[in-house]
Amino acid sequence: MLIAGCVVAAGASACGEAGGDPDLVAGKQQFAEKCGACHTLARAGSKGVAGPNLDEAFRQSLADGMDRSGIEGAVHDQIDTPARLPKKSKVYMPPDLVTGDAARDVAAYVARSVAAGGEDTGLLATAVKAPDDGKPAVEENGELTIEATAQLAYVTSSATAKPGPVTIKSPNPSGTPHNIAVEGGGLNEEGKVVQDGGVSEVQADLKPGEYTFYCSVPGHREGGMEGKLTVK
């Protein structure tokens, strides 16, 4: 099975110590930051499409009697030794994406969550902050900032600007590669892909109307990383 971002597994307590039970809260947080951009996992709220849909990947195995500890082991093995892909492949799971206790935590959370239905409760329900706070980004003095997150989302899915020359910036503090691109009204501009504090930037002369901003990294827009820019 080829995994493009991170595969993971089994159940345990929500708070663990070194050598003790896996920390599921930490596992969910690490999954959101390191793996969610490539994988769909309903309980984690991730919608990545570059790698396998984890719910579907293990659904049949569960139906056939595989227990979740077996899934945990399979996922942990995949994290430790990612499947090799052709050198020209644009999507792959890098080695050492998560290691040590973090890898164990991620594997445990994924194994507990795949094809489980329902929603996380308790501490797990609030382990990962929803990326979209609902507040639109607003252009000021010809500059519009729309920050990216570790998940397949910007901090907001809406923005407003006045007509005229605008510099659209997208800081990305996470380790997940993202950029900002804008299309609509004959415009089709794309900023560079950045991570770890880089800033993707697009300069455009905006006319009144509606535009779409999105991340052009393969699979990110398809996973829901886009929003609406209204110019008026």
Q: Return the pLDDT at 3.
A: 41
**What is the per-residue pLDDT across 155-190, written as a single tens digit (0 to 9) for each?**
999 999 999 999 999 999 988 899 999 999 899 999
CA atoms within 13 A on the CB side of 225: 33
Q: Quick one: DSSP state of residue 220? A: T
**What is the per-residue pLDDT across 74-107, written as a single tens digit (0 to 9) for each?**
999 999 888 755 555 555 677 888 999 999 999 9
Domains and CATH numbers, the chain: 24-126 (1.10.760.10), 137-231 (2.60.40.420)
- Order the strands of the 187-190 sheet from edge to edge: 137-138, 158-161, 226-231, 209-214, 181-184, 187-190
Section 24-49 average pLDDT: 90
Can you give the pTM of this predicted structure? 0.70
Q: How many helices (H) and strands (E) does the chain have?
A: 4, 11
Residue with more model confidence, 2 or 62: 62
